[in-house]
Chain A
Amino acid sequence: MNSLFPSIVFRSQSSGLMNFFVPIISIILTLITGSIIFVLLGFDPVYALYTFFISPISSTYGISELFVKATPLALIAIGLSFCFKNNIYNIGAEGQLTMGAIFGGGIGILFHDTNAFWLLPFMIFAGAIGGALWGLIPAILKTKFNTNEILTSLMLVYVALFILDYLVVGPWKDPFGYSFPKSRPFSESGRMPLLFDGLRVHFGLIITLFLIFVSWFIFSKTIFGFQLKVSGYSPKAARYAGFNQTTLVLFAFAICGAFAGIAGLAEVSGPIGLLYRDISPNYGFTAIIVAFLGRLHPIGIIFASLVIALTYLGAEDAQLFLQIPSAVGFIFQGLVLFYLLGAELLINYKLTYKKLL
Chain B
Amino acid sequence: MSDTILNIENITKSFPRVMANKKVTFDIKKNAVHAILGENGAGKSTLVKILYGLLEPDEGNIKLNNKDFKVNSPAEARKQGIGMVFQHFSLFDSLSVKENLILGIDEKMSYSDLENKLQNISSRYNLPLDLDAPITALSAGEKQRVEIVRILLQDPQILIMDEPTSVLTPQEVESLFVTLNALVKEGRTILYITHKLEEVISICDTVTIMRSGEIIDTSSTSNQTAKTLATKMLGQKLDDLKTNYGHINDEVNFEVKNISCDFNDPFLTDLKNISFQVRVGEIYGIAGVAGNGQSELMDILTGENINIKSGSITFDSKKIEKYGPQKRRDLSISFVPENRLGHSAVPELSLSENILLSQFPENNFIKNGIILKNNVDDFANNVINDFKVITPGNDAKASSLSGGNLQKYVIGREISSKPKILIISHPTWGIDAGAEHSIRESLIELSQNGTSIIVISQDLDELIEITHKISVIYDGNLSKPFKTSEVEIEKLGLLMGGKNE
Residues in chain A within 8 A of chain B (CB atoms): 221-224, 226, 229-230, 233-234, 236-237, 239-242, 355, 357
Given contacts A226-B356, A230-B357, contact A237 B343 (CB under 8 A): yes
CB-contact partner of A240 in B76, B343, B349, B370, under 8 A: B343
CB-contact partner of B304 in A224, A230, A239, A357, under 8 A: A239
| 26 residue pairs bridging A and B, Cβ less than 8 Å apart | A222-B371, A223-B366, A224-B369, A226-B371, A229-B349, A230-B346, A233-B346, A234-B342, A234-B343, A234-B346, A234-B347, A236-B342, A236-B343, A237-B342, A237-B344, A237-B345, A239-B304, A240-B304, A240-B337, A240-B343, A240-B344, A241-B325, A241-B356, A241-B358, A242-B327, A357-B72
The reply to whether B349 and A230 form a contact with Cβ atoms under 8 Å apart is yes
Which 6 residue pairs across A and B have the least CB separation, nearest first? Answer: A242-B326, A242-B325, A241-B357, A234-B342, A236-B343, A237-B346
Tell me, in angstroms, the Cα distance from A223 to B355 when the chains sit together: 12
Tell me, in angstroms, the Cα distance from A221 to B304 when the chains sit together: 26
CB-contact partner of A221 in B76, B325, B342, B371, under 8 A: B371
List which B178-232 residues lie within 8 A (CB) of chain A: none
Q: Which residues of A lie under 8 Å from residue B329 when comparing CB positions?
A: 242
Any A CB within 8 A of the CB of B303: yes
Residues in chain B within 8 A of chain A (CB atoms): 72, 76, 302-304, 324-327, 329, 335, 337, 339, 342-349, 353, 356-358, 366, 369-371
The reply to whether A221 and B370 form a contact with Cβ atoms under 8 Å apart is yes
Tell me, in angstroms, the Cα distance from A221 to B366 when the chains sit together: 10
The reply to whether A241 and B326 form a contact with Cβ atoms under 8 Å apart is yes
Tell me, in angstroms, the Cα distance from A240 to B371 when the chains sit together: 19
Q: Which residues of B lie under 8 Å from residue A355 when comparing CB positions?
A: 72
* A261–chain B nearest beta-carbon distance, Å: 23
Tell me, in angstroms, the Cα distance from A69 to B195 when the chains sit together: 65
The reply to whether B302 and A240 form a contact with Cβ atoms under 8 Å apart is yes
Q: Which residues of A lie under 8 Å from residue B358 when comparing CB positions?
A: 240-241
Tell me, in angstroms, the Cα distance from A296 to B459 when the chains sit together: 43
* A213–chain B nearest beta-carbon distance, Å: 15
Tell me, in angstroms, the Cα distance from A226 to B356 when the chains sit together: 9
Q: Which residues of B lie under 8 Å from residue A237 when comparing CB positions?
A: 342-346, 357
Tell me, in angstroms, the Cα distance from A338 to B371 when the chains sit together: 37
* B356–chain A nearest beta-carbon distance, Å: 6
CB-contact partner of A239 in B325, B346, B356, B369, under 8 A: B325
* B57–chain A nearest beta-carbon distance, Å: 16
The reply to whether B343 and A223 form a contact with Cβ atoms under 8 Å apart is no
Q: Which residues of B lie under 8 Å from residue A239 when comparing CB positions?
A: 304, 325
13 new A-B contacts at CB < 8 Å, known A222-B369, A240-B325: A223-B369, A226-B353, A233-B349, A234-B346, A239-B304, A240-B304, A240-B337, A240-B343, A240-B344, A240-B357, A240-B358, A242-B303, A242-B325
Tell me, in angstroms, the Cα distance from A239 to B346 when the chains sit together: 12
* B247–chain A nearest beta-carbon distance, Å: 30
Tell me, in angstroms, the Cα distance from A237 to B337 when the chains sit together: 10
